[in-house]
Structure 1
Amino acid sequence: MESPVKRPLLKSFSNNSFRLRSPSLNSLRLRRIFDLYDANHDSFITVDEISRALMLLGLDANMSDLESMIKSYINPGNAGLTYDDFVNLHRSINDLFFGLEDVQEKGTKEEQEESDLTEAFKVFDEDGDGFISATELQMVLGKLGFTEATEMERVKMMISSVDLNHDGQVDFSEFKDMMRSLQ
């Protein structure tokens, strides 16, 4: 069966760091994304909710292509994508954009995990200084629409919960420990 996902659908999609290759990190990330963009918490993501999510991520999607692609993943009788449908859609997009790379990529599982964690860390370390500050975490949470972003004290508590050396920031080593503990 040919995938209904078409390359022109996402015009601004060029950042390889968008993808995490670690299955457990992907699963956690996908669940959070699904829950975040299920705006009305009905356990379905509609075409409108996906469209809003893509716009927030800075991805320019052709609405008619988006609608036809997503509808092909929605089971008959459902109002939108279930979580499992969303995972299948993500897998199709991943295969389309990155499938060839997976065949060509070399290295051990540990090297790949390290690379994935480095890319994930860069998302939060907006100024590139090698540390995630409470301000940086707050900005990323805000961009993702998390309500925690409005309360700096909660953000500082999040930082302190993984800040092993108590310097008020999360370095890469602390970030790795946190992410590995989630697995």
Structure 2
Amino acid sequence: MMSRLRARELRRIFENLDKNGDGQVSLEELNWLLEKIGVHHSADELEFSVGKPSLDFDEFLYFYNSISSEGTTGSSGLVSPKGNKGDGDQETDLAEAFKVFDLNDDGFISCEELQSVLSRLGLWDERSGRDCNSMIRAYDTNSDGRLDFEEFKSMMLITIS
């Protein structure tokens, strides 16, 4: 299972999704986010699962918690990515996550790709002082300045243990 996000990170994602600033995330905005992380549902499926046209922050947190539970169908009715039921499931989850970051599909995650994806999710802020090069260097075992799948997998397994 992927590393769970902290409330502060979820708040930033919520605020970035809430384009009109009304304190609600529409199903369209929510579906956009889900597609960016590789979870695909039709608008009708999402509306049926959520049961309302938009979510406030507390409902967004509840929704996040329901889809990020270990490999179960959350109370939202949406099936979360597979959990730790076996190494094959975890490997599949990590491969899917890797694809989200590998924007040019070259088999590597560059600093630019990492920063782009984190920015789209609202987890990158120029003022945060984060340096994507140092983030990559921490797990770049062959020192080529980018992460291959095995390096990414090591990073994620350390992050979620």
TM over 0.5: yes
- Runs of 4+ with deviation above 4 angstroms: 29-33, 50-53, 58-62, 149-153
Unaligned runs of 5+ in 2: 17-21, 36-41, 69-73
User: Pairwise CA RMSD of aligned residues?
Assistant: 4.1
**1:69: how far off?**
6.6
Matches within 5 A, 1:21-170: 22=1, 25=2, 28-29=4-5, 34-39=10-15, 48-49=24-25, 53-54=29-30, 57=33, 68=52, 80-81=58-59, 83-84=61-62, 86-88=64-66, 91-93=74-76, 95-96=77-78, 98=79, 109-148=86-125, 154-170=131-147
Counterparts in 2 of 1:51 and 1:109: CA distance versus 1, 3 Å: same
Structure index of larger Rg = 1
Counterparts in 2 of 1:152 and 1:61: CA distance versus 1, 3 Å: farther
**1:49: how far off?**
3.6
Provide the C-alpha distance between the structure 1 equivalents of 2:148 and 2:138, rounded to a whole number of angstroms. Answer: 13
| Kept after mapping to 1: 8 A contact 2:13/2:123 | no
Provide the C-alpha distance between the structure 2 equivalents of 1:33 and 1:124, rounded to a whole number of angstroms. Answer: 18
| Kept after mapping to 1: 8 A contact 2:24/2:54 | no
Unaligned runs of 5+ in 1: 1-21, 41-45, 103-107
- TM-score of the pair, normalised by structure 2: 0.62
Identify, as 1 or 2, the structure richer in helix.
1
- TM-score of the pair, normalised by structure 1: 0.56
